[in-house]
Structure 1
Amino acid sequence: MKALVYRGPGRKAWEDVPDPELVDPTDAIVRITAATICGTDLHILKGDVPEVEPGRILGHEGVGVVEQVGAAVTEIKPGDRVLVSCISACGRCSYCRTGMYGQCLGGGGWVLGHTVDGTHAEYVRVPFADTSTYLLPDGVTDTAAVMLSDILPTAFEVGVLAGKVQPGQTVVIVGAGPIGLAAIETARFYSPGHVVAVDLAEARLDAAKQFGADVTVNAADDVERVVFELTGGLGADLAIEAVGVPETFELCARLIRPGGRVANVGVHGKPATLHLEKLWIRNVTITTGLVDTVTTPTLLTMLAGGRLDADRFATHRFALDEMEAAYDVFERAAETGALKVVLTR
């Protein structure tokens, strides 16, 4: 089969590799019909995730059709159309039993495209298939469903739920890429008073307005002035960091009011300064996290019921064997206006 293989920092190739095989009785082999690229894949290519070794097939987001299942798999069967979650869950360890699938001790967590071969391929081996795939209802498109592999549950869980958005509050989302836009969309579930989007790219700020942001601010402008004027000098109730660089994290910490919250969603490859000398007295809460995907069933129900518009995240479409071209477009998102690129057979 063909797959996108990581060859070290800055190097990748769409090349022939062996077809995946069942290894454990809980595995399934899924024929990928749609995949998308994540900002985390770009972090890997920059060398920010040293655990990813050269030779690894990248990708952790996908939709496909089940080809084979192991002897212990009971919830899916060949021919089923499934969503492949970015998080694999053994379902048995102490963390999985409390819904913290991202911290799975039984061989799961974020493994696809990280410590085992991923979804940027014609076929993928999915560990713990019963608890790491979701049957797709009729009428849900591959393009919409693949957005539930990662960005929507990540933004919802690590940003909105961890940040405890409440009605009437002011929420600032720093970074209007796919995760930031997903945070805007899912924050609206809780009727915040103002949603403010911050980004350097005007195209992404325009997208943020379409997704429901009330106010947009270019990051090159005086973001703090805008937020404090909007809130009567108090600051935001919640700032969601959706970029993953020190400057954006530190901006979030400056934007919140006493009693405010910073929910960090971005993947950081470098240290950020935590100004505890200023924050300690202000009753500030800072949360971090890897998505657990416990909300995926809820989001899938909302998607099937027409309560969630996930198709609109897709701005560019490619054939699966145009993987390298898709990466190029996604890497140059500031120029191309790409939000999510979707690759299909």
Structure 2
Amino acid sequence: MLRFSFIRSATGLASTCSRRITTTTPTTTPSFSSSSLFLRTMATMKALVYEGPGKRSWKPVPKAEVLEPTDAVVKLTSTTICGTDLHILKGDVPSVTPGRILGHEGVGIVESVGSGVSAFKPGDRVLISCITACGKCLYCARNLQAHCLNGGWILGNDIDGTQAEYVRIPFADTSLYQAPKSLADESLLMLSDALPTGYEVGVQSAKIRPGESVAIVGAGPVGMAVLITAQFFSPATIIMIDTDDSRLAVAKKLGATHIINPSKLAASTTMMDTVTSIISEADIASGEVPNKNMTAKPGVDVAIECVGVPQTFATCQAIIAPGGRIANVGVHGTKVDLQLQELWIKNVTITTGLVSANTTAMLLQVLRGGKLKPESLITHRFKLDDIEKAYEIFGNAAREHAIKTYIEA
């Protein structure tokens, strides 16, 4: 849409300049191009722009503006970087084309609204959902806003996103949330994407039940969100698996009962051996001899993949018990092998999905009640002008001990 505005303006200028001139003209006229005049006269903002695989730039671009009656323009007060943004930069998401402003998370102040917006007005502080929902199509009616026929995940994907000074939000009435004054940006920002993604695609899809054993593979922001929200359902065991010891230490503080670093297992020890030992240790500690007819076969009841690479999905397949559920949350950019020849007989359920953010309102209420502290995931803070440095830090998370960045606009 911004490119269309440019073409229309430039065309109008060219047609004006081509009209017959009937007045006397000076012997010397200043030379200028339509593009330079456009840049001088149009409002701009700074944004983080995807320039192709491995390339990005923080630069001036045309300022976001209301284009449809249901739009709102939000001035960002904070944003962050998602693991999906790193996948985009690697070229894993072909729908994102060069020139796109990245980002789909943020908190801000409404600057302007279209004539069709009734729930928000300029000056309102809002939480931006990573999912744009029209609220009227077939999939919105089915509570699958991820697949909204007019929206879905479009911010930083099909349209310009939130890693900018301003962002246009389509269908504002059903894609923004009033931000309570009592909650700081640091807390609210986690509700843009990470927390609902972990809860909906991980915890809800896996149908975690009280007393079960759960393995979370990947201790990044979404894996931590799974860890936090899995505790709503009181599983007996929560095992966090990651190769980053600093993230595992944080997971332990946030409620993981056990942690495993696969890179530190003995050569003769399999992941299944380690998981089985953890699950059975409660019986060993109690001194009771379990009834062999009532003892489950090895493995976990639930395995949740939160990375998006073949090795981590393979881990989930390797450690799942009969009747177990594997929930895939990670964004996969390359093919993954499905070990169906081993899984078919185990009555295993595998789920996939993109967050619909239909639990955001509920999670917001839980947050207001003080039951969640998602701001504890923030490890690094930056100003918006330093967003490229933030990408360097987040892209080297293990080296920098990074989990979630907070970027203040």
Q: Runs of 5+ in structure 2 lacking a partner?
A: 1-44, 281-296
TM-score normalised according to structure 2 size: 0.83
Q: Percent identity, aligned pairs only?
A: 55
Corresponding residue number in structure 2 for 1:327: 391
Corresponding residue number in structure 2 for 1:268: 332
Q: Distance in 1 between matches of 2:325 and 2:278?
A: 17
**Residue 187 of structure 1 aligns to a residue in which SS?**
helix
Q: Is the 8 A contact 2:272 2:298 kept in 1?
A: no
Deviation at 1:223, TM superposition (A): 2.3
Length, aligned pairs only: 344
Q: Distance in 1 between matches of 2:374 and 2:122?
A: 26
Corresponding residue number in structure 2 for 1:231: 279
What are the within-5 Å matches in structure 2 for residues 200-279 of structure 1?
200-220=243-263, 221=265, 222-232=270-280, 233-279=297-343
Deviation at 1:230, TM superposition (A): 2.4
Q: Distance in 1 between matches of 2:148 and 2:213?
A: 34
Equivalent position to 1:124, from 162, 167, 179 = 167
Corresponding residue number in structure 2 for 1:180: 223
Amino acid at match of 2:227: I
Q: Does 1:4 align with 2:52?
A: no
**Residue 230 of structure 1 aligns to a residue in which SS?**
helix
TM-score normalised according to structure 1 size: 0.99
Q: Distance in 1 between matches of 2:273 and 2:166?
A: 50
Q: Distance in 2 between matches of 1:59 and 1:223?
A: 35
Q: Distance in 2 between matches of 1:218 and 1:224?
A: 13
**Residue 334 of structure 2 aligns to a residue in which SS?**
coil
Structure in which a larger fraction of residues adopt helix:
2
Deviation >3 Å, runs of 4+: none
Q: Is the 8 A contact 2:214 2:238 kept in 1?
A: yes
Deviation at 1:318, TM superposition (A): 0.5
**Residue 307 of structure 1 aligns to a residue in which SS?**
coil
Deviation at 1:316, TM superposition (A): 0.5
Q: Does 1:343 align with 2:398?
A: no
Pair member with larger Rg? 2
Amino acid at match of 2:75: R
What are the within-5 Å matches in structure 2 for residues 69-218 of structure 1?
69-105=113-149, 107-218=150-261
Deviation at 1:255, TM superposition (A): 0.8
Q: Is the 8 A contact 2:237 2:279 kept in 1?
A: no
The higher-RCO structure (CA 8 Å, 6+ apart) is 1
Query: How much is the aligned-residue C-alpha RMSD, in angstroms?
Result: 0.8
Q: Is the 8 A contact 2:329 2:353 kept in 1?
A: yes
Equivalent position to 2:92, from 30, 43, 48 = 48
Deviation at 1:285, TM superposition (A): 0.0
Q: Distance in 1 between matches of 2:279 and 2:259?
A: 15
Deviations 1:97-154 (A, max 9, x none): 121000111x200000001000000000001100000001111000110100000000
Q: Runs of 5+ in structure 1 lacking a partner?
A: none
Q: Distance in 2 between matches of 1:279 and 1:131?
A: 40
**Residue 216 of structure 1 aligns to a residue in which SS?**
strand
Corresponding residue number in structure 2 for 1:35: 79
Q: Does 1:314 align with 2:371?
A: no
